[in-house]
Amino acid sequence: MANVAFTPNLRRHLSVDKCTVPGGTVNELMRNLFESEPLLRGYVLDDQGDIRKHVNIFLDNTLITDLESVVCEDSELFIMQALSGG
């Protein structure tokens, strides 16, 4: 279980709000998240299921790349965008 927050920039494309999502790992949590918000998957992960190059996921203030990272009961997960573009 974790509290999940999103970069406000995602709201330009999707209607997503802060929420609490069950899951023991980031992967499980994402699966549950995408079940309720199917379109979100394509914005966070690429078509092969990898985290997009320009999306940063912070778990308890640590930038993670491993989707199997363990989520604690009161974890905070931030889905942010990397500082890139033009």
Partner 1 sequence: MKLLAGTRKGLFTLEGDGSSWEITDRQFIGDPVPMLLALPDQQQLFIVLGTGHFGTHLHRSIDNGKSFKEIGVPVYPEKPESSDDPCPWSLEMIWSLESGHDGKLWAGTIPGGLFSSTDSGESWSLNETLWDRPGRRAWFGGGYDWPGIHSICVNPVNQRELTVALSVGGIYRTTDDGATWNPCGEGLRADYVPPDLAFEVDQQDPHRIVQCPAQPDHWWMQHHNGIWKSTDNCSSWTEVTDVTPSTFGFAVACHPADGNTAWFVPAVADESRYPVDGKMVVTKTTDGGKTFQQLRKGLPQSDAYDLVYRHCLEVCDKGETLLMGSTTGNLWSSIDAGRSWQSISNHLPPILCLRLLC
Which residue, 24 or 41, has its beta carbon nearer to partner 1?
41
Please tell me whether residue 65 binds partner 1 under the rule CB under 8 A. no
d(CA 62, CA 86): 26
Q: Where are the beta strands (DSSP E) in the chain?
A: 2-6, 19-21, 55-59, 62-64, 75-81
One symbol per residue from 3 to 32: x for binding partner 1 (CB under 8 A), - otherwise; what is it? ------xx-xx-------------------
Largest CA distance in the chain: 38
Residue numbers of the site for partner 1 (CB under 8 A)?
Answer: 9-10, 12-13, 39, 42-44, 46-48, 50, 52, 54-55, 81-82, 84-86
